[in-house]
Chain A
């Protein structure tokens, strides 16, 4: 079972998904896929990375960014970086 992300990480990521990408709040679940479920397209990836980096003051590499498929992946990556991950 995937551990729950800290509430502040989840709240901030979810706010970005709603405010920037106009996602339906009811669809925001860790297993939600960014494209098929939340409606992001191939052009949104760079905007998502910039929004996350700005909100959390972290750096997300291109390799890591390409591996993000679900909202849960974002929660995990942000939490890992805030905990001192690369």
Chain B
């Protein structure tokens, strides 16, 4: 099993420059917390949360003894952005499982800068298993 904190590359296929996470603080099949440097772009907040959902799914796959396959963000609902992070500002991404119905996972995601909420909403994620 993975020991946390860990490098996101241990759990995700993403690499720079699209990788939004610098470190995964914690991860389970139900909840994951990661951090990354903020980018002044709405899509990066959603992508950071999607990658954190990828962590959640990777840990879930590992707990079931299978390898996580490629995942994809397939839906966003009720997502609100209060403000964009400043470039380089530390952003914490946290996702919590709402429901998993393989191959789909529905999570609530929240992005924060310190104690300040930046954005939150529901994300739907497709997670296949590695062939």
Residues on A facing B (Cβ under 8 Å): 43, 45-47, 49-50, 53, 62, 65
Residues of A within 8 A of B100 (CB): 46, 62
22 contacts between A and B (CB under 8 A): A43-B74, A43-B75, A43-B124, A45-B101, A45-B104, A46-B99, A46-B100, A46-B101, A46-B105, A46-B124, A47-B106, A47-B124, A49-B99, A49-B101, A50-B98, A50-B99, A50-B106, A53-B99, A62-B100, A62-B101, A62-B102, A65-B101
Mostly, the B contact residues are strand
Cα separation A53 to B99 with both chains bound (whole Å) = 10
Interface size range of chain B in the complex:
10 to 19
User: Which residues from chain A contact B124 at a C-beta distance below 8 Å?
Assistant: 43, 46-47
Alpha-carbon gap, A32 to B74, bound state (A): 26
In the complex, what residues of A have CB within 8 A of residue B105's CB?
46
Chain B residue contacts of A47, Cβ below 8 A = 106, 124
Contacts of B98 in A (CB 8 A): 50
Q: Is the interface of A mostly helix, strand, loop or mixed?
A: helix
Contacts between chains A and B (CB distance < 8 A), count: 26
- Provide the bound-state CA to CA distance between A46 and B99, in Å: 7
Q: How far is the CA of A46 from the CA of B106 in the complex (A)?
A: 7
By a CB distance below 8 angstroms, the chain B residues around A45 are 101, 104
Q: Beyond the given A45-B104, A46-B106, could you list 6 further A-B residue pairs with CB under 8 A, ordered by the A residue number?
A: A43-B124, A46-B101, A46-B124, A47-B106, A49-B99, A49-B101
Across the interface, name the chain A residue whose C-beta is closest to B74. A43
A11 shortest CB reach to chain B, Å: 24
Nearest to B77 among chain A residues (CB) is A47
Q: For the complex, what is the distance from the CA of A38 to the CA of B100, rounded to whole Å?
A: 23
**Which chain B residues border A50 with CB–CB below 8 Å?**
98-99, 106
Shortest Cβ gap from A8 to chain B (Å) = 24
Q: Given the complex of chains A and B, what is the CA–CA distance between A46 and B74 in angstroms?
A: 12
The CA-CA distance from A53 to B102 in the complex, in Å, is 17
Q: Which of B77-131 contact A (CB under 8 A)?
A: 98-102, 104-106, 124, 126
